[in-house]
Each structure stands twice: as C-alpha cells, then as structure tokens.
Structure 1
C-alpha cells in the first residue's frame, strides 16, 4: 500500500520543503519558476540568465582580472582602461546579483502560495499589483541607474585612483599602474611638502568657509530686518537693488573685482588708497588676497540669503509682535524671541548648504587669482582651498593619485559636517512627527 509521506506533517513544514525545493532549483534562474508551473516567468528568467552567461560572463571575468593586475605589458595594456572595465564589471555583477536574489525570492514566494492553497496570480495580475504597490520604484529606478553611471561610477573610479601610483611620470599606456595601498595617504601626512600644504590649505578652507559664509548671512539678516521695518518706504525698490548682485553672472562679477583689486592699475588702489597715501598688495600678499576674496564672496552671497530671509519675515504673523508690544517687549526682545527663531527654523537647512557650497566654491578662487600668490615650500597657493588645490594637482601637475586622496578627505569632511548640522536642526528632528 502506497503512503503519502506528506500526510500527517504540519502544513508549515510542507510549505517550507516546497519553498526550499523551489529555492534550490532557482540556483539556475528560471527552474524554480518552471517547478511552480510559472512557464512564462520561468522562460523569461532562464532566457535572461542564458543571454547574460553567453555575452557578459567572459568580459566580466576579464574585467575582474584586469582590475586586480592593472595590466602586464606596457604600451599594450592600458591600466586606466582596465581599471574602468573592472569597475564596470563590479557594478554589472552587483546588478546581476540583485537579479539573482529576486529570482530566488520570487520562486520561494510562489511555492509558498501554491502550497498554502492560494491561487498564484497571472503575469498580468502580478504586473498590475506590482505597479500599484511599487509605482514609486518604477519612477525612481531609472533615475537611480542613471545616477549610478553618472555619479557613483566616477566616484568609485576616483577612490580607486587614490590607491594607485598614477601621476605624470607613470601615466598609462606607456607605463603600467600598480596598487600601492595606503602609501599615498601616508605620504600626505608624513612628507614635509604635502603635510605643510595640506594643513595650510585645510586651515584656510575652514576659515574661508566660516568667515565668508557667516558674514554674508549676518549682512543679509541685518539688511532683511532693516528693510522689513514698517517705517521703511520704497521696500520693493530697495529689495530689487539688493538682489542685483545675485542677478549678474558670478564669473563676470569676480573678473570685474579681480581687475579692481589689481595691485598696479586696479581702481581700488589707484582711485581710493592712492589719495590716502597707501598701497595694498591685494594679489601678491597672502593676507590681503584672502581679505579681498572674502569681501567678494560676501558681495556675491548675501543677495540669495537676503531673499530667503525676506520671504520668511513676510510670513511671520503681525499678531505676535502686537502681543509682544502689549507685554512690554523691546525691539531686541522681539527679534530674539520671534524673528530670529523663525528665520533659523525656516532656513537652517539652506544656510547649512551655503556653508557646504562655499567649502567647495571653486569659481571665485580660480577666477580671482587661481589660488595665488605662491607660497615657498608648498605646492599650493596662499588662497587655494581644497577644491582648487585638487584642480591644480589634476590639470596642472597631473598628480592624479594625490588629487584623488585629497578629494576623498574633502568629501568626508563635507559629508560629516552637513550630516552633523542637519541632525541638530529642529526641522530635521521634527520631520517624522507629522
């Protein structure tokens, strides 16, 4: 007499066995779906896997080999091309691994539905259900794939360069690149020239970011509060004039200021300080060059912040100020307890982005004096910030390895600072409360 081995076993155990079988068969994509009698889906998974194995398996293996070795024969193997192909192989493999995981999960899910007695939806029903539940993913995934190739791929390539010996004297394809581990990072913090340049540029970058951004915010706050005063007339005209520096392209403004600050023929020295019997070396003295750049950034940056503050000030209810008047509050009390908290709460994320933007504000540094004047014993200029120093190392000295190392440090600093500041803002803390 034949006895069904599944009789008497718990349904959960039988379900688990069927799901396990489907998962094991899905080691070859599509077989698990065929086991579940999902013929169309199984054929699709199997076809995609077969096409992938036939067309991409060998190139991916070669890509991984090239990524490890970076070439064997100079003038024949291009280490840079092999590095690119290797990174692409890693990204494609990650996508294939995701497809493989989806294939196994899909087979196990259908097996459990079948064993539990539920009807397995058709291909059309599955598509409609997935579209209804996962519409945001259908919209986000194409953009995510594009960002992966446009943003993540160059970022990974740059990170890889930081661990190679890629510079002017070792450029492929005439030479082969080698993986050097953390030697570039060690050189940055141990060799005198690099250490002096790094700490000089890093300290000036921090000073530049804090001073220039804080001054432009303070100036914008002062002007916005003054113009918003009910005693001021012609508010529209005044606000229009204050916004004009923002309307003019910034590169034109910087070039005009570079000519005005010129040591010899600049209008500031010739028409102002010459009558006072003075002369200021705006472009040749490190201190005065930094003062000039901070002044230009305040001029360029305050109109945007002024516009933000003006919009918030107009949205604050007048009833609060009237209540403060009834309680006998002074102008300072009203500013401290009503105006300033509302301004900071509404604009804090944007103000933080102003600090992050100025940390990487390449245009003003390069257009004003290209990071000069030069400093003895350094391979960076007196007004170079990290981003302009990276540009100089990349395009002027072709020192790609050290430029990549500094870029990694710069990215970490910006990310840590922005994340820390966002976490401290009230708008971030209260985001999940509603």
Structure 2
C-alpha cells in the first residue's frame, strides 16, 4: 500500500476513534466508551455492572450518606451510631466504585489511542485471557484487601469520626442523638482546666515512662549481653538461660505477683525488707504516685530486658573476633572497642526492633493497669497518677463512657506514634543502602 494511503487510513482512524470522546462517554455511563471503541462485550459488561450496582446499593448508600451528614434527626427513632457506621461503610463502597469507574474511563481512553495507532481490538476470548493475566495478582490479593479494609481501615475511620462528635454518657443513642461538634474535643483538651491539667500530666508521664523504662531495659540488656559474650566468662549457656527466665513467665503473671509484693499493707517488700530496716509503716508503693512510677519502671525493666538481651546476644555472635584483634594491635582500649566496633554493629542490626520497643511501651497498657489500675487518684484530675494515654483512654471509654474524648485522645496517640516511627525508621541506617559500619 502506498505511503500516502496508509497516512490517509491512519487519519481516518483518528477521526473515528477519538480518545476524548471515548473518555467522556465512559464518564457519562460506564461501558459507553468501550462500545464506542467497538469492544462490545466489555462495554456491555461495564453497563450491566454499573446498573446492577446502582440498583443494589442506592437505598443503602442514600441512607448512609444522609446518616453520616446528619447523624439522625428524631431522638428515640434514629440511632446515631448505626447511621455513622452505615455512612462509613457507604464511603468505603463508594471508594471501591470510584476506583472501578476510573479504571473504566482510563481503559476507554487508552484503547482509543491504541486503535488510532493501528492496533486491532482483540477477540472476546483473547480479551478474557489478557484480562485474567493482568488481573491475576489483584484477584489473589482482593480477599486480603477487603479483610484489611473492614478490620483495620473501618475501625480506624470510625474512631476518627467519633473524635469529632459529642458521643458520651449524656448523648447516647437511641434516647439522645449524637451531633458533630468539629474540633471541640481537642479544644477542650487545651482550654478546660480539668482536661488541660489531666492531659498535660498524663502526656508528660507517658513520655517519661516511654523513654526511661525502654532505655533502662535496653541498657540492661546490652550490658548483660556484652558481659556474657566476653570470652573470659564460663558457663555461657547456663547464664543465658538464667537471664532469659523472666521472659518465660507470662507478663501478666509477673505483674500481678509484683503488685502483691509491693502492696502497702501486706506486701513482702514492706513487711520483710523495708520495715525491718527503717521501721515505720513502710513505703507507700501504691498510694504515692512517685513511688508507684519508680516501681513501674523497675518492673518494666525486669520484664523487657530478656528480649533485648537475647537479641543483642545473637547479634554479638556475628561480630568477627578479627576486628577486636586488629583493634588490640592498634592499641585500642576496651571502651574504644565497645564504642567503635560493638555498639555500631549492634545498633545497625537491631535499630528497627529497638524503635518498636519504644512505640510498644508508649502504649503498654498491661503493666500500667494490672499493677495499680493507673492509680493512685490525683485531686483535680480525671486520670490516675500513673495513667498513660492508653490507660486513660480505657477509663474514659469503660468507666465514664466518654467515647468522643477517648477517640480524640486515641487519634493524638496514633499521630504521635506514626510520626515518631516514620522519622526514626527513615533515619535508621538499616533501612537505607548498606554501607560501612
């Protein structure tokens, strides 16, 4: 075929298959763009799918969108929390639908361009085969994605939504309606004295608790691992077994035992140690916040160091003895060998896990609640003297039914942990290209 005829045919195809027309048709109704591109079966499938979706979900989506905007209008009839749930589910369904709709539009636009370039539309069987090959990874991961959305994303969205409502004991459906109040919960935390004082006190103790308790367990684990790994130490296996024993006992059992031992009235610490030594009634381990905080840090060090010790012990086994021998030849002291060889090697290999230790203790509910339920009570605050943010959220939820404020504090916790973990992981060498230690 002469060249001018080929160009003429290509020009005719471009006039026949306009990508913009195909895109607009697909926006108007899913499948019209595919029919315009002469992919009739695919276009009809999209049309049937869209019509079926509209007919099957219209009533539910309308109720959900109305519910999430109003949270109900008639007390005793409309249940605000149910409507909020319906609304969030509706938004998730709409997000799925929009994703498929965007795929439909992009597909029509892309196919029109390919047809203009001279590519013939595939047969129905070939289209099915090509679609299956391309979609196979998505088909296999779809069940997991759906499960993830409704077990992780949905509860997260629900908690975030509650943070902007007035859902509490006095605004509890179905008797009363819940209302959207914007950022009032966060404003109350910053302005109302009882909320402000409590939040500052609990947040400060949470930070101190996280940094001190975690750092102690890491330091103790590192020191013990370095000592046991010393070539002059005998019976290494026996010593390692003894040092890991606290890890073998369930944490809640150890916490309850310590709570009994430090009891002010009948605990073994006061009765058998403190009173015989200094007399009096012993120390107020459970009734004075300062003493309780000290005990909590010691208990967490006891519970947390075995994991760090086992982690560091494994890493130290991989440090070549030749490095230490070369350092000795150069006249390095023990401290210099530790600072320039042992410590960088250990931190490079374990930094992500150490960061997780900090984020875990930031939300370490078990030890705070099981030891003394976050107590003792503090005048002028609605949280105990040793409550951290997560245990305070628990009390707000189950003791005072202040769900919206609990959700607001939970949102703050999530942001703090996420930001901390994000920046620390990005700055960690083990998440970058491997270089020299």
> Which of these residues, 308, 311, 319, is aligned with residue 308 of structure 1?
311
Q: Aligned to 1:307, what secondary structure does the other structure show?
A: helix
User: Does residue 377 of the first structure (1) align with residue 383 of the second (2)?
Assistant: no
- Counterpart for residue 273 of structure 1: 274
Higher alpha-carbon deviation: 246-255 or 204-213: 246-255
Once the two structures are superposed, residues 309-366 of structure 1 have per-residue CA deviations (whole angstroms, 9 ceiling, x without a partner) of 0111001111111111221211111111110000000000110010000000001111
- Rounded Cα–Cα distance in structure 2 between residues aligned with 1:149 and 1:99: 19
Deviation at 1:308, TM superposition (A): 0.9
- Counterpart for residue 81 of structure 1: 82
- Counterpart for residue 394 of structure 1: 397
Moved beyond 6 Å, runs of 4+: none
On the 8 A contact 1:15/1:112 being kept in 2, the answer is: no
Deviation at 1:140, TM superposition (A): 3.9
- Rounded Cα–Cα distance in structure 1 between residues aligned with 2:200 and 2:13: 64
User: Does residue 351 of the first structure (1) align with residue 354 of the second (2)?
Assistant: yes
- Rounded Cα–Cα distance in structure 2 between residues aligned with 1:249 and 1:95: 43
- Rounded Cα–Cα distance in structure 2 between residues aligned with 1:167 and 1:432: 54
On the 8 A contact 2:65/2:87 being kept in 1, the answer is: yes
- Flag the 1:136–1:207 CA change in 2: closer, same or farther, 3 A: farther
Deviation at 1:277, TM superposition (A): 2.1
On the 8 A contact 2:68/2:83 being kept in 1, the answer is: yes
- Counterpart for residue 261 of structure 2: 260
Deviation at 1:155, TM superposition (A): 1.0
Once the two structures are superposed, residues 106-154 of structure 1 have per-residue CA deviations (whole angstroms, 9 ceiling, x without a partner) of 1122222222112334565556556666665444443222111111111
On the 8 A contact 1:366/1:388 being kept in 2, the answer is: yes
- Counterpart for residue 404 of structure 1: 407
On the 8 A contact 2:396/2:403 being kept in 1, the answer is: yes
Output the TM-score relative to the length of structure 2.
0.93
- Counterpart for residue 38 of structure 2: 37
- Rounded Cα–Cα distance in structure 1 between residues aligned with 2:431 and 2:146: 28
Stretches of structure 2 lacking an aligned partner (at least 5 in a row): 1-5
Q: Aligned to 1:109, what secondary structure does the other structure show?
A: helix
User: Does residue 423 of the first structure (1) align with residue 426 of the second (2)?
Assistant: yes
- Flag the 1:31–1:99 CA change in 2: closer, same or farther, 3 A: same
Deviation at 1:43, TM superposition (A): 2.5
User: Does residue 211 of the first structure (1) align with residue 212 of the second (2)?
Assistant: yes
On the 8 A contact 1:22/1:32 being kept in 2, the answer is: yes
- Flag the 1:41–1:338 CA change in 2: closer, same or farther, 3 A: same
- Counterpart for residue 93 of structure 1: 94
On the 8 A contact 2:17/2:113 being kept in 1, the answer is: no
On the 8 A contact 2:13/2:116 being kept in 1, the answer is: no
Higher alpha-carbon deviation: 37-46 or 406-415: 37-46
On the 8 A contact 2:262/2:286 being kept in 1, the answer is: yes
On the 8 A contact 2:216/2:301 being kept in 1, the answer is: yes
- How many residue pairs match? The answer is 428
On the 8 A contact 1:394/1:403 being kept in 2, the answer is: yes
- Counterpart for residue 14 of structure 2: 14
User: Does residue 298 of the first structure (1) align with residue 286 of the second (2)?
Assistant: no
- Rounded Cα–Cα distance in structure 1 between residues aligned with 2:256 and 2:338: 38
- Rounded Cα–Cα distance in structure 2 between residues aligned with 1:126 and 1:248: 60
- Flag the 1:50–1:253 CA change in 2: closer, same or farther, 3 A: same
Once the two structures are superposed, residues 284-327 of structure 1 have per-residue CA deviations (whole angstroms, 9 ceiling, x without a partner) of 00000001111111011111111110111001111111111221
Once the two structures are superposed, residues 1-34 of structure 1 have per-residue CA deviations (whole angstroms, 9 ceiling, x without a partner) of xxxxx97698599279522222122121122222
- Rounded Cα–Cα distance in structure 2 between residues aligned with 1:282 and 1:174: 44
Stretches of structure 1 lacking an aligned partner (at least 5 in a row): 1-5
On the 8 A contact 2:33/2:108 being kept in 1, the answer is: yes
Deviation at 1:270, TM superposition (A): 1.2
Q: Aligned to 1:290, what secondary structure does the other structure show?
A: helix
User: Does residue 333 of the first structure (1) align with residue 372 of the second (2)?
Assistant: no
- Rounded Cα–Cα distance in structure 2 between residues aligned with 1:349 and 1:215: 17
- Counterpart for residue 3 of structure 1: none
- Counterpart for residue 235 of structure 1: 236
On the 8 A contact 2:10/2:118 being kept in 1, the answer is: no
- Rounded Cα–Cα distance in structure 1 between residues aligned with 2:220 and 2:11: 72
- Counterpart for residue 249 of structure 1: 250
Output the TM-score relative to the length of structure 1.
0.93
User: Does residue 25 of the first structure (1) align with residue 28 of the second (2)?
Assistant: no
- Flag the 1:206–1:79 CA change in 2: closer, same or farther, 3 A: same
- Flag the 1:318–1:115 CA change in 2: closer, same or farther, 3 A: same
Q: Aligned to 1:26, what secondary structure does the other structure show?
A: helix
- Rounded Cα–Cα distance in structure 2 between residues aligned with 1:402 and 1:271: 44
User: Does residue 159 of the first structure (1) align with residue 124 of the second (2)?
Assistant: no
